[in-house]
Structure 1
Amino acid sequence: MLKGKKVAILGDRDGIPGPAIEECVRTGGAEVIFSTTECFV
């Protein structure tokens, strides 16, 4: 489903961090162009 797609990831420090999402989308075949983990207060 994600094969050939480019993805920008915004993870949440208190939720799901960016690197965890990054691994999932890479497994799905997407290319990660930006990944970060932020604190949304």
Structure 2
Amino acid sequence: MGLLDGKKVIIIGDRDGIPAQAIEECLKTTEAEVVFASTECFV
């Protein structure tokens, strides 16, 4: 059982850093449920 198994996850990515889609792809190997994913621009 992993750390994120059965958890709901909110992902906020950064346009100039790591986008939310990349983080979401990494979480596909876990049992976590992504309920919201967005890439924002923090200036």
Higher helix share: 1
Same fold flag (TM > 0.5): yes
What's the TM-score once normalised by structure 1's chain length?
0.89
Q: Which structure would you say has the larger Rg?
A: 2
Unaligned runs of 5+ in 2: none
Runs of 4+ in structure 1 over 4 Å off: none
Aligned-CA RMSD value: 0.8
1:26/1:32 contact within 8 Å kept: no
Unaligned runs of 5+ in 1: none
Provide the aligned length of Structure 1 versus Structure 2: 41
What's the TM-score once normalised by structure 2's chain length?
0.86
Question: What fraction of aligned residue pairs are identical, expressed as a percent?
Answer: 68
